[in-house]
Structure 1
Amino acid sequence: MDYADEKLNRRKFLLTTTTIVGGAGVVATAVPFLSSMAPSEAAKAAGAPVEVDLTGVEPGKISTVEWRGKPVWILHRTDAMLAALGKHDALLADPASKIQQQPPYATNPARAIRPPFFVAIGICTHLGCVPVFRPEPGAPDLGADWPGGFYCPCHGSKFDLAGRVFKNVPAPRNLEVPAYTYLSDNRLLIGADKKAG
């Protein structure tokens, strides 16, 4: 073997070694970087479905739970509240819920699987404020035609007891109804529907 061949073999060896060491360095750097992009256990838990016991939610009362960092309301509507739902459709911007703000199984006048229980994300569709529950019909500060529902104090948006938005208010859409399913008569799972498990 002459000097030129020895030099060429040495160059190939050094090039191969450098490539292997460099590749290992790239992998060693990329793995922790890419792993840091995965959601943390806390983030996974925050997005997980939430189970709710309905036994403590009395008729006419509302309960709030947190799901994905948002307030979710569970309103146990009375018979009178349910009967009032169809009587003010002319005041609503989207009474039939044509804009899909709910799963298909909640596209009905009550916007619910079971009409007595209304489940909705408690965030105004205008700028993200949290409306307040105002169930009293004809409240003096909301007008004689107020049927009861949710009022957003930030900019005056109004929603009825099915989360449907009134006409001529800043909010453009009905309140969002999340995916949910019943595990039993008194157990509700928010964040998953029958198709998902």
Structure 2
Amino acid sequence: MTSAVGAVGASFAAVPFIASWNPSAKAKAVGGPVKIDVSKMQIGQKIQVSWRKQPVFVIRHSKEALESLPQVESKLDDPSSLKIDEPYRDINPTLSTSTEYTVIAGVCTHLGCAPKYYPEMESQPWDESWVGGFFCPCHGSMFDIVGRVFKGVPAPTNLKVPPHYFDGNILTIGEERGTA
């Protein structure tokens, strides 16, 4: 009888103990996907969202901006994104699953600073022939409008592209289509 009561008591004690191994709701939320409605974004606009406590930039490009991409390729260190694990490199010029939007981590690959977006296609103090992109004021790293790194700057690689997909006007960051 004592053994039976002890076994039942042990099982009741084990349930909360085993349940404590599951991640908390807060831990699940930190790594969970983020959904954004991009239907109201203007052409040329950049918005910033947070995913896994990291900034993610979403940029809606004009056709003219995307047509200017070949103009800077000779200045880029890795124009085809071969030095990093780039999930969407051969799909679109935006390095995204979209032909119109770029989705990139807003963290410089040099020391983790936040690069600033300068979409203007005009001369800048750091580049006479600037055709738009990102400039990291901390150490002078430059990236084009889709996050590819320039040659001769401190940043070693292109900006990272998080897993994402578009379902109409809804962008989901943190998942690829068909995964959950």
TM-score range, shorter chain: 0.7 to 0.9
More helix by percentage: 1
Query: For each residue in 1:32-56, what CA deviation from the matched residue of structure 2 results, as whole angstroms up to 9, or x when unmatched?
Result: 7876664321121111111010012
1:98 pairs, out of 82, 101, 113, with 82
* Aligned counterparts of 2:145 and 2:20: Cα–Cα separation in 1: 43
| Larger CA Rg, structure 1 vs 2 | 1
Once the two structures are superposed, residues 1-41 of structure 1 have per-residue CA deviations (whole angstroms, 9 ceiling, x without a partner) of xxxxxxxxxxxxxxxxxxxxxxxxxx999987876664321
Secondary structure class of the residue paired with 2:70: helix
Given candidates 118, 132, 135, the residue that maps to 2:116 is 132
Whichever residue aligns with residue 120 of structure 2, its letter is E
The size of the alignment, in residue pairs, is: 178
CA shift, 1:177, in A, is 0.6
Q: 2:172 aligns with which of 189, 192, 196?
A: 189
% identical equivalent positions: 41
Corresponding position of 2:62:
78
- 1:168-179 aligned within 5 A: 168-179=152-163
Q: Which letter does structure 1 place at the counterpart of 2:55?
A: P
What RMSD in Å do the two structures reach over aligned CA positions?
A: 2.7
The answer for unaligned runs of 5 or more in structure 1 is 1-26
- List gaps (5 residues or longer) in structure 2: 1-10
> Which residue does the alignment assign to 1:109?
93
Once residues 178 and 156 of structure 2 are traced to their aligned partners in structure 1, the CA distance between those partners, rounded to angstroms, is: 29
Report the TM-score when normalising by structure 1.
0.78
TM-score, normalising length: structure 2? 0.85
1:107 Cα deviation after fit: 5.2
Q: Deviations over 1:79-120 (max 9, x none)?
A: 111111111101000001112342146654321222210001
Q: What SS does structure 2 have at the residue aligned with 1:133?
A: strand
